[in-house]
Amino acid sequence: MPARQLDLTTDVVALTRQLVDIESVSRDEQDIADAVEAALRALPHLTVTRRGHTVVARTDLGRPSRVVIAGHLDTVPVNDNLPSRYDEAAGVLHGLGTCDMKGGDAVILKLAATVADPVHDVTYVLYEAEEIESVYNGLRLLGESDPDLLEADFAILMEPSDAGVEAGCQGTLRVEVRTRGERAHSARSWRGVNAIHGAAEILTRLTAYEARKPVIDGLEYHEGLNAVGIAGGVAGNVIPDECVVTVNFRFAPDRSEAEALAYVEDFFAGFEITLTDTAPGALPGLERPAAKAFIEAVGGQVAPKFGWTDVARFTVLGVPAVNYGPGDPMLAHKQDEHVEVAQIVRCEQQLRQWLTKPQEEQA
């Protein structure tokens, strides 16, 4: 099969359709990565590096600041939603990946092709395998193999955010809170210790939990500590000797993973705690000059990100990051995934203004 080609001279909506129509389910991104790499290598003002199916393109103009603009190339599995379909009257583009996040990828490619002299040096990253297990995530792998390629003063992850800025993200961890008992026949329950009954105190503590709401860079985050699963029981006539309550802690980005775990361990003092999953949050970093100028350029409005996204990977590298991209995140992964084309156009225009407006005017 001949290699797919991308036309970076077309408008950003048409470019989005080109990207959507290259099927790129996670772990099957070679075709789209080949097309992206070929298109970017044709641009003399960029230095292009490829790692696996992740493509990095950089300007090297000696600017005093550098920003990263990143987006993932993969999608969830096809669900009878390819090829793309454009309802021009409604101004809506339908199809797998239109929202999450090939509209954002098209913006990245269009800027990479047409902004040859930005006021910040720019690193454009289009990476693989965001939609599946972290072990495959192209941004994570790039941070491990080539951390220098992600060095920057500020980063923008073009996750769908309704073309508005969502700063940073909260961290997440899961623990198993375990009670122990002693088995006995349920007809002689006093001869045992019921571990499920012992979980009542765990639930009582959770019910009484009061969420911390720290303000960071003027944004109020809202932590959450919740039971998300419970398991116990041996048989219908046996007093159970073990019960496990799975608890998810969504913590504000001013806590480290270690601090978040220490909080949970203290909260459940007296119980056996097992950590099963953890990921750090991402500070918004809105005090940085590049971040301030970006917020102003896109309208001055910013909201906190309560969910977890790959912006957290930048925090690990010491790079403040925000989410900013076209598309309603509530439509991601749905069969009728779609995006308002006006949001794609607006994101391109606002990012272009930010990358080309003289820095003294951005101050």
Looking at residue 351, its pLDDT comes to 94
Looking at residue 360, its pLDDT comes to 54
> How far is Cα 259 from Cα 249, in angstroms, rounded to an integer?
12
pTM, rounded to two decimals: 0.81
Name the packing angle between helices 12-20 and 103-114 (round to 10°): 130
Task: Name the DSSP class of 45.
Answer: T
Asked if 123 and 56 touch (Cβ cutoff 8 Å), the reply is yes
Asked if 361 and 296 touch (Cβ cutoff 8 Å), the reply is no
Catalytic residues: 74, 130
Asked if 32 and 19 touch (Cβ cutoff 8 Å), the reply is yes
- Could you give the strand order of the β-sheet that contains 338-340, starting from the edge strand earlier in sequence? 85-87, 92-94, 338-340
E runs forming strands in the chain: 47-51, 54-58, 66-72, 85-87, 92-94, 121-127, 154-157, 165-167, 171-180, 184-185, 215-216, 219-220, 224-232, 238-239, 242-251, 272-279, 302-304, 321-323, 338-340
Looking at residue 2, its pLDDT comes to 54
Q: Is 240 helix (H, G, I), strand (E, B) or coil?
A: coil
Looking at residue 4, its pLDDT comes to 83
> Minimal CA–CA distance to 290: which of 326, 321, 313?
321
Low pLDDT (below 70) residues in the chain:
1-3, 359-363
Single-letter amino acid code for the residue at 176: E
Task: Name the DSSP class of 147.
Answer: G
- The full length of the chain comes to 363
